Chains A and B, each alone.
Chain A
Amino acid sequence: EDKVVQSPLSLVVHEGDTVTLNCSYEVTNFRSLLWYKQEKKAPTFLFMLTSSGIEKKSGRLSSILDKKELFSILNITATQTGDSAIYLCAINAGGTSYGKLTFGQGTILTVHP
């Protein structure tokens, strides 16, 4: 069974801090790893990673995948209160179900002013 574990489960920082969120996984037939940001109810897509060692970047957010060690990290630099959210990691595995995603339990990030 595919499995995704995120750490820490929650994190409290102050504006301007840099945070690193972790995601480790176990999967047969890995296809891709994804990061989402969930504010209130609806998650929004951040990154998709398929290859090891290639950093994806969007503004203050960046992510990298290590397929050998089976983990990914999401970095947020110069955090702002608007970064407060749940960050979800998910994997997409090969096989007959092309679109199925397995999610981790999420990291709750709180950024204080």
Chain B
Amino acid sequence: GAGVSQSPSNKVTEKGKDVELRCDPISGHTALYWYRQSLGQGLEFLIYFQGNSAPDKSGLPSDRFSAERTGGSVSTLTIQRTQQEDSAVYLCASSLDGRFYEQYFGPGTRLTVT
């Protein structure tokens, strides 16, 4: 079946604008994760959704970042008033319930803030 998809694949935006990044997880995967990867760095956890439970937002770097997951499937990560330090690749992953170690990653969205 189809893997995790993300859109757009690339996004260039001006400082101060808002952006929305979309993630479509694998069908049937109840867990969804967002990560950020800056150049030459490992993955930085942002937020994690598991079924109907309250999301773990502990990795969101500031209140300009928010995410939602509608209907237990598609997720949108929103960054308000973007800053240059927000430039990174944003990766989404999904997994089956309890199989957090076997996360399937999407191709990512490369965000560039000019």
Contacts and interface: CB of A to CB of B under 8 A. Distances in A.
Contacts of A101: 33, 43, 45, 100, 103
Interface residues of B, number: 26
Interface stretch (A12-20, A41-49, A57-65, A69-77): A41-49
A99 B43 contact: no
B56 A99 contact: yes
A79 interface: no
Interface residues of A, number: 24
Contact of A32 (B33, B48, B91, B101): B101
B100 A92 contact: yes
Interface string A88-113: 10101000111111111110000000
B107 interface: yes
Nearest to A89: B42
A42 B105 contact: yes
Interface in B37-64: 40-45, 48, 50, 56, 58-59
A103 B44 contact: yes
A41 B91 contact: yes
Nearest to A50: B101
B45 A41 contact: no
A99 B96 CA distance: 11
Given A99-B100, A103-B43, A43 B58 contact: no
A99 B33 contact: yes
Interface string B74-114: 00000000000000010100010010111101111000000
A88 to B, nearest CB: 6
22 contacts: A4-B42, A6-B42, A41-B89, A41-B91, A42-B106, A43-B91, A45-B101, A45-B102, A92-B100, A97-B48, A97-B56, A97-B58, A98-B50, A98-B98, A99-B31, A99-B95, A99-B100, A100-B56, A101-B103, A103-B35, A103-B44, A106-B41
Interface of A: 4, 6, 32, 34, 41-45, 48, 88, 90, 92, 96-106
